[in-house]
Homo-oligomer: A and B are copies of this chain.
């Protein structure tokens, strides 16, 4: 580990500040690696890929790969390449996701789909997916390839399941967790597991790394879905995207369960038929947020992060393990 990074890792005190210090320290190297591999993409795939990849992002997934790998004893610089590969896989799924999200109800954000068209966006996603898998297979370990291939399949599975249940308020708690496990948690699981595999970790540690990533991923998406009901002043983003797109997530479902039958029936009918007016959406977000349903929906994230802590306990003590632990706190309390 470079000395400046080591120094940043050794800091203690405020978890979010510590983590942000490491993020801003590692980001330039991760981004350089991403730029390098994006430049290798086929000509027409490059623009959509760069639009998505090089316009920001916390690089949570590569960071998980780096920290898990190092926590389990890997000093190899190629952790950055592996981290870049997983970020590219994530970006590829986002490109395809953009097609879903630029439904008529989607507003306020120029997605790749809109800028580059459906066909180029689909194919650029494919090229990026393949490029990332090529990067992973260059490591010569079939376990790495199997791990990320499975994650890609599970991600698609989760997204398809979510799409199949759009505008459907009968989604159970179990189904919701299954959907977000697919669409989000499997890729975070893979991000951690490949770090452990590159570190040559034994079965117990590799399994713990995978479980840590999985629990972190579930918690991350729970919080993400909750933040969609937070006031714009807190998150910096317009709220109500999920209501517009017809996604049934816990804040809405808890609110519906709290309403008198008739009122719930009306809201359910409006949401399911896509008849919510723009002003209704703002009112509804406020009611859900101020009524405490967003807060209530955040609670299960704590349970998954406790599971993540248990998994982390298998790792030997290290500055990276401490940072992974801080990441748990960050995921639970983040507002952006």
CB distance from A103 to the nearest CB of B (A): 8
Q: Are A145 and B133 in contact (CB under 8 A)?
A: yes
A257 at the interface (CB under 8 A from B): no
- A163-B123 contact given A142-B139, A142-B140, A149-B133, CB 8 Å threshold: yes
CB distance from A308 to the nearest CB of B (A): 25
Q: Are A124 and B43 in contact (CB under 8 A)?
A: no
Q: Are B137 and A123 in contact (CB under 8 A)?
A: no
Q: Are A161 and B96 in contact (CB under 8 A)?
A: no
Q: Which of B43, B122, B142 contacts A96 (CB 8 A)?
A: B122
Q: How far is the CA of A138 from the CA of B146 in the complex (A)?
A: 7
A325 at the interface (CB under 8 A from B): no
CB distance from A210 to the nearest CB of B (A): 16
Q: Are B156 and A123 in contact (CB under 8 A)?
A: yes
A157 at the interface (CB under 8 A from B): yes
A44 at the interface (CB under 8 A from B): yes
CB distance from A154 to the nearest CB of B (A): 8
A-to-B contact residues, CB < 8 Å: 42-45, 93, 96, 99-100, 118-120, 122-127, 129-131, 133-134, 137-142, 145-146, 149-150, 152-157, 159-161, 163-164, 182
- Point out which of A42, A118, A125 has the most chain B C-beta atoms below 10 A from its C-beta: A42
Contacts of A150 on B, CB cut-off 8 Å? 130, 134
Contacts of A159 on B, CB cut-off 8 Å? 123
Contacts of A137 on B, CB cut-off 8 Å? 137, 142, 145-146, 149
CB distance from A88 to the nearest CB of B (A): 12
- A to B CB contacts below 8 Å, 11 in the list: A42-B156, A42-B161, A43-B157, A120-B160, A120-B163, A120-B164, A123-B156, A126-B129, A126-B153, A127-B156, A133-B149
- A122-B99 contact given A134-B149, A164-B44, CB 8 Å threshold: yes
Contacts of A140 on B, CB cut-off 8 Å? 142
Contacts of A152 on B, CB cut-off 8 Å? 126, 129-130, 133
Contacts of A131 on B, CB cut-off 8 Å? 149, 153
Q: Give 10 closest A-B pairs by Cβ, nearest first.
A: A42-B157, A130-B153, A130-B152, A127-B156, A126-B156, A137-B145, A44-B160, A134-B149, A133-B149, A137-B146
Contacts of A156 on B, CB cut-off 8 Å? 42, 45, 123-124, 126-127, 130
Q: How far is the CA of A45 from the CA of B131 in the complex (A)?
A: 23
Q: Which of B127, B139, B145 contacts A157 (CB 8 A)?
A: B127
CB distance from A187 to the nearest CB of B (A): 11
Q: How far is the CA of A133 from the CA of B154 in the complex (A)?
A: 13
